[in-house]
Chain A
Amino acid sequence: MKNRVRELREGPGWSQGDLAEKLDVSRQTVNAIETGKYDPSLPLAFRIAKLFRQSIESIFAPGKE
């Protein structure tokens, strides 16, 4: 799955640690999501979308199967 989490995080100038703290996850999880190594669960995707005030579909898009 492709996502725009890095782009959205860098907008307000947050570090991965800042975003991790806001989402109550580890920095490793933020890094894994940004690099596409890990697809977040639906509840976490909703938390990310709520934090950036965007819809889930505008942040996450299906990649190559």
Chain B
Amino acid sequence: MSRYTEKRYRTHVLVAMAVYMLLMFLAWPYVRHVSSLPWKIALTLVVVLPVVIVIWLMAKRVMHSDELEQRLHLTALSVATGVVCAASLIGGFLCAAGVLALDGDVLIWVAPVLSLLYGATHLWLGRRYGGTGCL
């Protein structure tokens, strides 16, 4: 299997995130003003599409990684997923118990928090294995 190089991965992610930023500025502001439900859904899905592409790129990166890199990616993902799952369970139960007042908007933070935790864990693991710690 040919390796999906770091440079190509970064370029693709950068392009996808630039499109995401552009859509956040151009399309997202209209979502609350559009009255038609299909348009609301379409605009929301368009904004999320670049992020879905980034997730697919990450999966491609992991699949094309060598065995040590895969171990680092999967360990980092496991830590990030575990922490986010625990936090959402705690938040969910506290909300159900009436201790916290959370609305649906909080779900927007799941992906960024997961990515941050994944990045930090991957950095730490990379340094532990003698790498530069790059993602």
Binding site for B on A (CB under 8 A): 24-26, 28-29, 31-32, 35, 37-38, 40-41, 44
Inter-subunit contact B67/A41 (CB<8 Å): yes
Measured CB to CB, the closest approach of chain B to A9, in angstroms, equals: 15
* Majority DSSP secondary structure for residues of A touching B: loop
Measured CB to CB, the closest approach of chain A to B60, in angstroms, equals: 16
Q: Hey, which chain B residues are within 8 Å of A41, CB to CB?
A: 67
- What is the count of residue pairs linking A and B with beta-carbon distances less than 8 angstroms? 38
Q: How many residues of B contact A (CB 8 A)?
A: 12
- Of B12-20, B48-56, B106-114, B125-133, which stretch is located at the interface? B125-133
Q: How far is the CA of A37 from the CA of B130 in the complex (A)?
A: 8
Inter-subunit contact B128/A37 (CB<8 Å): yes
Inter-subunit contact A26/B69 (CB<8 Å): yes
Q: Hey, which chain A residues are within 8 Å of B69, CB to CB?
A: 26, 28-29
